[in-house]
Amino acid sequence: MLEFRRTLDGKSWNPSFRWNERRAPLLLLHAENGQTGLGEAWSHQNAVEPVLAHLAQTVAPQLVGHDLDVPALRPESFARTAIVGVEPWVGPAAASAVDVASWDLRAKAMRLPLWQTLAGTAASGRGVAQVYASGGLYRDGATNEDLAREASSYVANGFTAIKMKIGALLLADDLARVRAVRDAVGPDVELWVDAVNQLPAQDALAWCRALAGLGVRAIQAPVAFDDVAGMARINRYGLPVIAAETEFRPTRFEALLQAGAVGWLQYSLGLCGGLTGATRLDAMAAARHIASSPQCFSTAVLQAASLHFAAASRNAPIVEYHRFHDHLSALLSPALRTVVAGRVLIDDAPGLGLGSIVPGPQPCGGEIVLRARIGRLH
């Protein structure tokens, strides 16, 4: 088990959190053939340790010396392990890291890029993932002109869609921020906003109608996480809703779909069961003719996994490509770091296509800390 840590300057924030530090639980599996698989788990910022402890104490003993394809050891089984005194998301997060790492190993064993392993060996050509630039946080001392320049830089670097934060200011002030971005990037760039569940329920619909007037085309997490009825109302009468990135229970995703509460079903590969879980949710959304989209504010491990997943799926037309949380970006191949006309063309490198990861300082300014070592797998 590895932990990624990166100290940030504390000047950037969203409506619910100021970014002084970024931490992430990582998993490195060693196979007997000498290959390694990389995985990453979602976690609350101040709760990385429970995931690492669960991986070390519960998951590792079941993995070491066993074949990952033995049914009793399939990664999704780890999500069902009860952990006394620990929040219920910890098991699914750990299971997600196992799943991503095991898919990375399988693809490497097949000498195929991960997207092709997911799509089936009959899939040919290069993998293509449509992406949107995720940024537009609030920043101490920054003006709307600074925000407009940030958005323009994304377009200059090949993006045709952008997502920015709202919800921390008065409506008029946030509308001014959105207007500055829209004026800077022009009418043809897809513009989404993320309210981080902070809009007042009684005012949310009015907010969304005002945002739609500025050319905003979807809103992520507009109201409280469990306000399904509120999201359904917004999705029906305001803007398409994107949700729910911090969910891990399939029944809750189904409830969102059944209520008509989402225009985009969103999930994190580090929490929803990895690539296996995302495939199931994607199919669940497709059955209701709703598109899905992986959320990603993680390190390069989940960023690469999300790109490969979108390339393999017929129902996930666009994936988050974070420009603020670009941690461990040096691990990404040049192809995975390049956006042309809103798309990433994935190269033929096997598995996730990432560089090697070792404990110690990283080129991006963070560090990798080895917390425990998992033995070799068959």
**With bands split at pLDDT 50, 70 and 90, how would you rate the model's confidence at 124?**
low
**With bands split at pLDDT 50, 70 and 90, how would you rate the model's confidence at 72?**
very low
Domains and CATH numbers, the chain: 2-112+356-377 (3.30.390.10), 127-346 (3.20.20.120)
What DSSP letter does each residue of 122-143 carry, written as one string? T--S-EEEEEEEE---EETT--
69 Cβ contact partners less than 8 Å away, ≥ 6 residues apart? none
Helix, strand, coil percentages for the chain (3-state, nearest 5): 35, 20, 40
153 Cβ contact partners less than 8 Å away, ≥ 6 residues apart? none
**With bands split at pLDDT 50, 70 and 90, how would you rate the model's confidence at 146?**
very high
Q: Which residue has the tokens 């229970």?
A: 249
Q: Which amino acid is at 303?
A: Q
Specify the higher pLDDT residue, 44 or 216: 216
pLDDT digits (tens, 9 = 90+) for 125-139: 789 999 999 999 999
Q: Rounded to an integer, what distance in angstroms lies between the CA atom of residue 272 and that of residue 315? A: 17
Q: In 3-state terms, what secondary structure has residue 146?
A: helix
Specify the higher pLDDT residue, 377 or 147: 147
| pLDDT at residue number 186 | 97
For residue 119, cis peptide bond before it (omega within 30 degrees of 0):
no
Q: Rounded to an integer, what distance in angstroms lies between the CA atom of residue 35 and that of residue 33? A: 6
| pLDDT at residue number 79 | 55
Q: H/E element holding 212?
A: helix 204-213
Asked if residue 100 has pLDDT above 60, the reply is yes
| pLDDT at residue number 293 | 97
For the chain, give the percent of residues with pLDDT over 70: 92
Asked if residue 84 has pLDDT above 60, the reply is no
**With bands split at pLDDT 50, 70 and 90, how would you rate the model's confidence at 366?**
confident
**With bands split at pLDDT 50, 70 and 90, how would you rate the model's confidence at 233?**
very high
**With bands split at pLDDT 50, 70 and 90, how would you rate the model's confidence at 74?**
low
69: Cα separation from own chain's centroid: 26
Residue 118: C-alpha distances to residues 36, 149, 291 (Å): 18, 38, 18
Q: What is the mean pLDDT of the chain?
A: 91
Q: Where are the extended beta strands (E) located within the chain?
A: 2-7, 12-14, 17-18, 21-31, 36-40, 127-134, 138-139, 161-165, 190-194, 218-220, 241-243, 264-268, 291-295, 319-322, 343-346, 360-361, 367-370, 376-377
The 10 Å Cβ neighbour count of residue 18 is: 14
| pLDDT at residue number 373 | 66
